[in-house]
Amino acid sequence: MSVMTSTPDRVHIVGLGYVGLPLAVAFSKHLTVTGFDLDPTRVDELIRGHDRNGEVQLDSVGGDSLEYVTDPECLSDASFIIVAVPTPVDENNEPVLDHLESASRMVGHAFKSRSEGLQPPVVVYESTTFPGCTEEICGPAIGESSGLEPGVDFKLGYSPERTNFGDAEHTLQTVIKVVSGQDEETTSLIETVYGQIAISGTHRAPDIRTAEAAKVIENVQRDLNIALVNELAILFDRLGLSTSDVLDAASTKWNFSRYSPGLVGGHCIPVDPYYLTYKAEEAGFHPSLILAGRNTNEQIPGFIEEKLRSLLGGKGKHLTDCRVLIMGVAFKPNVSDIRNSKAITLAKLLAESGARIEVYDPLVDVNIMERMDLVPGGDPSEMNGRYDAIIVATGHDVFLDGSVDNYCEWFADSGVMIDIPGDFSPSLQDLMESRGDLYWRP
């Protein structure tokens, strides 16, 4: 049987997290949407108009064309299903496919009670993974739990998410959407469906494996570019050079691509490369460059710790005797997302070294920080004279709103500031040095 040739009137989305919910809301402006999630608390919050992730405006979470459910039987007669579940790695940096496999088996189990005479449904995956995963793992999981034959009784597709959380310019609707399917007919249908929300258009990959590979290398490339400048930052620090000054000079050349050194966290860049390296090793190839980039970026919290030790030592202080404030625990500026945050890694590393660590992030709920075994320090403006060192780990805009004079008042004496994002103006460095404090940026 062939898949339907016309646009379906309803889309089912499995997983209502950072990727699935924005998809559901976007599609609900054009089609009827059923959003499914296993977490009843999450579904209840959405029904009440609350997105705990802060990615969707409250007034757009609900609506007559969007329903939220926890019963997987809603998928039994579905014609177009999008699976958007997490694909993390474990402590050994091996891909964790549990969410993908369980979601696929759940979809397959629902298909067992599918009404007769319906056209084969299309199941599209958005989760980042390695080339071959959709057809080699997800499809068979649906088939085994449903008794249906992949590619015949149901069709597979892949359209990788390209969500950039906290970015108002590069949104779900404004980025080009890569689409792919098991065959030409399926790809055309997927392109038609996504074309309703992809204002900038779609790109048809020749097959699913190509689309999977394209997605994963987007973040591999960013990881490697950042790793290069992180390694240069370590080198230039030893040579007594300012990395930002070097980058300013190099950036005057027309074909120089500028990246900034810093902590590399989040749900994509520190995770996705391991999906490709896993598949590479499986194919008998050792991806040394990709792994080297990962190793470099994972070393940055340790580099910052050693730099803080050195700077404090120059002031006659020892890290174990110091009170240190870390500003920003989200993994990137202007979001509340703490997944794989290297600011948290840094905080725990310094705490293990004996420093008294406090954290401050007005965008992250205090209860969440406490559950991560962090010590919230309160509003630093009320803690004058409290800290021996301040580390700006995440460059939230709110940190730049106040007067630079305020920061200097927070130091006990002979303070040290490490500005990892390097966002503060030179006036702060000048002011600190005039007071006998130290300011350093990678």
Per-residue pLDDT tens digits of the chain, which is 442 residues long: 666 666 899 999 999 998 999 999 999 999 999 999 999 999 999 998 888 887 777 666 667 899 999 999 999 999 999 999 999 999 999 999 999 999 999 999 999 999 998 999 999 999 999 999 999 999 999 999 999 999 999 999 999 998 766 656 666 777 899 999 999 999 999 999 999 999 899 999 999 999 999 999 999 999 999 999 999 999 999 999 999 999 999 999 999 999 999 999 998 999 999 999 999 999 999 999 999 999 999 999 999 999 999 999 999 999 998 999 999 999 999 999 999 999 999 999 999 999 999 999 999 999 999 999 999 987 887 777 789 999 999 999 988 876 666 778 888 888 899 999 988 877 788 888 888 888 999 8
Dist. CA 17–CA 48, nearest whole Å = 16
DSSP classification of residue 251: T
CA pair distance 394, 280, nearest whole angstrom = 33
DSSP summary character for residue 266: S
Chain-centre distance of CA 414, in angstroms?
A: 37
What is the DSSP secondary structure assignment for residue 383, as one 8-state letter? -
Of 74, 133, 138, 268, catalytic: 268
Q: What is the DSSP string of 93-118?
A: S-B--HHHHHHHHHHHHHHTTPPTTP
Dihedral class, residue 50 (left if φ above 0, else alpha if ψ from -120 to 50, else beta): beta
**CATH 3.40.50.720: does it fit domain 300-442?**
yes
What type of residue sits at position 41? T
Closest C-alpha among 183, 186, 180, 138 to residue 158: 180
Contact 231, 239 (CB under 8 A): no
Residue 420 CB neighbours (<10 A):
27
Q: Which segments of the chain belong to CATH 3.40.50.720?
A: 10-206, 300-442
Residue 378: burial class (beta carbons within 10 Å; 0-12, 13-18, 19+): exposed
Please tell me the CATH code under which domain 207-298 is placed: 1.10.1040.10
Can you tell me the distance from the alpha carbon of 308 to that of 391, in angstroms, rounded to the nearest whole number? 9
Q: Which of 404, 413, 359 is nearest to 386 (CA)?
A: 413
User: Where does the chain hold its CATH 1.10.1040.10 domain(s)?
Assistant: 207-298
In this prediction the pTM is 0.91
Q: 408 catalytic, yes or no?
A: no
Residue listed under structure tokens 């404030």: 325
Are 399 and 371 spatial neighbours (Cβ–Cβ below 8 Å)? no
Report, in this order, helix, strand and coil percent for the chain, each rounded to 5: 40, 15, 45
CATH topology of domain 10-206: Rossmann fold (3.40.50)
Please state the φ and ψ torsions of residue 323, each to the nearest 5 degrees. Answer: -100, 125
